[in-house]
Amino acid sequence: MGNEPDNIDRTPRLGPLSEDCIVEEEISGRDLAIVLSRYDIGAVDQISDYKRGSRRSPKMRITSSMGEFLLKRRASGHDEHSRVIFAHTVQAVLAEHRFPVAGLVSTTEGKTLVQHDGRVYELFRFITGKRFDKSNPAASEAGRVLAHFHNILMNLEDEPVVGIGTFHDSQQIPGVLGSLLTVLKTHETESELDGIKDTIEYIREQYETSAKRVTDLEWSTLEPQLIHGDWHPGNMLYDDNEIIAVIDFDSLRVQPRIADIANGALQFSMRMGNAEDIESWGDGFRGHTIQSLIQTYDQFSQVPLFASERTMVPHLMVEALVVESVIPIWKTGSFGQVKGSAFLRLVERKLKWLEPRMHRVTDVIQPPMSEEDSFS
């Protein structure tokens, strides 16, 4: 799903909803042969690992006489049969409305999944595209497509079968933060953890403050609907500045739409870099990305954003950043290849950048007006 010579995804990322971990799984040759025998894809010419996305959901790129395909084994916890079937139903509905999905391939029995040895497999058409280039037009496109997603699924008649959990006011976070220092002590030295207790306390304060603010803005009165749950650049494929495929529907949720919008604003605007040099990532976010994504979403949404939703955005960004960062560290002691303490200090710097700019974020995501000033 990319045109790079090396298909290994080394880009750090957040989420989704901290359900992932660093355990890497593979599809064995025997399992591969058995699963592929259920499909009619012609003579297979080439098979290679496709190391993008969750390491718990291994993928294989397959070239055959009938084209290119991507075989994916669902991660444990995301592979309940009814949940997968619902996700496939959603993709079919989206496709009917000309939404950019990769396209599921049916088995010779007309099914859209294969169950083998207790695991669930899916086969998709392989889409060659480019990744988010951090430009304003590409961010605007992400907002437009997200609005299209919400518009289509706003009144979906099927009973949702989706994962649970949200980053807003998570009941898990107090316990996670309370035991985080103990976890870190089993992975890092005392000198590496110098000052980290204060960092954790600051993160806790910011999360609690933002969660209360969102609740006070009457989060509970917002209409829940089916949302994507992981609107992230890694799940989009572009051709120039047009999204030609959204490639992951494993994290569908029923939540207020602003959760998707705010998480998208966070994920697309994060200043990140090489995992080996976290100090060079920068403290802030790309303000124009936030502005472009949300203003374009509003332009194409059937229901314009409410004033309360706009005010929630920076606070929900804080909550999402905290949840998506601290839970993986709590589980493993690190954030991917990055030491847990180093990543927590990065989160602290980003929160300190965002804290005095909360009102600025809200201001720049208002409906555009002539000669509006830029984010700074």
Residue 130 pairs with which residues in a beta bridge?
238
Q: Span 29-125: which CATH code? A: 3.30.200.20
Pick the CATH number of 136-364 from 3.50.30.50, 1.10.1060.10, 3.90.1200.10, 1.10.10.60: 3.90.1200.10
Report residue 119: phi and psi, to 5°: -120, 160
In the prediction, which pLDDT does 371 show? 52
In the prediction, which pLDDT does 285 show? 93
pLDDT in tens, the chain (376 residues): 333 333 334 445 665 543 444 556 889 999 999 999 999 999 999 999 987 766 678 999 999 999 999 999 998 878 899 999 999 999 999 999 999 999 999 999 999 999 999 999 999 999 999 999 999 999 999 999 999 999 999 989 889 999 878 899 999 999 999 999 999 999 999 999 999 999 999 999 999 999 999 999 999 999 999 999 999 998 999 999 999 999 889 899 999 999 999 999 999 999 877 777 788 888 889 999 999 999 999 999 999 999 999 999 999 999 999 999 999 999 999 998 889 999 999 999 999 999 999 999 999 999 876 555 555 4
| DSSP notation for 207-251 | HHHHHHHHHHTTGGGSPEEEE-S---GGGEEEETTEEEEE---TT
Residues in the chain, total = 376
Distance CA 148, CA 170 (A): 28
Q: What are the extents of the domains in the chain?
A: 29-125, 136-364
Residue 48 pairs with which residues in a beta bridge?
61
| DSSP notation for 152-166 | HHTT--SPP------
Distance CA 122, CA 104 (A): 7
In the prediction, which pLDDT does 246 show? 96
Pure H helices in 45-135? 81-96
